[in-house]
Structure formats: C-alpha cells, structure tokens
Amino acid sequence: MYGGLSTTLWTEYLFRHRFLVPKRVVIGTVVCPILMSGCIEILQATCTDTRSGDWLDFAANCTGVILASLAGYYLWRPLIWKHLKK
C-alpha cells in the first residue's frame, strides 16, 4: 500500500516539475510516507484494542516506499519526461 502511495507521489511530482529538487523529492516521497506508516503503527498499538502495532508491518511499509522510490527515479522519471517532451 505504501508502495502505491509513494508511486502516486512520484508520478504527480514528475508530471508537474521539469527538474528534480532532491531535498523536496526525498522528503515528499520517502520521509513523509515512512513517518505516516510509523505513526499509524504506534496509534494501532496504543489507541486500539483490536489492532496491534508490528515492527514487521513497519519494515514492509518502508520496503514498499523504498522500492517505489527506486522505480520512480529509475523507471518512471525517464518515461514520464520522455512522454512530456513530445
């Protein structure tokens, strides 16, 4: 799910910007989804009786974000910018 979120953030950024601003991209597509995932896991552990926070869930979410970011930079960026040059 976080891979899908990060992919969406990457594609939106790439369609709307012609140049990458590394700090903005890393914060928007990597740091924010990982922080959101951590906050949700903490809330599940502390604020509900029927759900539990799990480190493996957090690790899976982080893996999805990182894989989507790698795909965004190495796969989607060249394809989208090539498409926009036409």
pLDDT in tens, 23-61: 999 999 999 999 999 999 999 999 999 989 999 999 999
Residue 86, pLDDT above cutoff 80: no
The pLDDT of residue 84: 87
For residues 72 and 3, the answer to whether their CB atoms sit within 8 Å is no
Determine the length of the chain.
86
* pLDDT band, residue 85 (cuts 50/70/90): confident
| Token pair of 39 as six digits | 């906050």
Cα 86 vs. chain centroid, distance in angstroms?
A: 28
Q: Is the pTM of this model over 0.85?
A: yes
Number of Cβ within a 10 Å radius of residue 34: 18
- Average pLDDT over all residues of the chain: 94
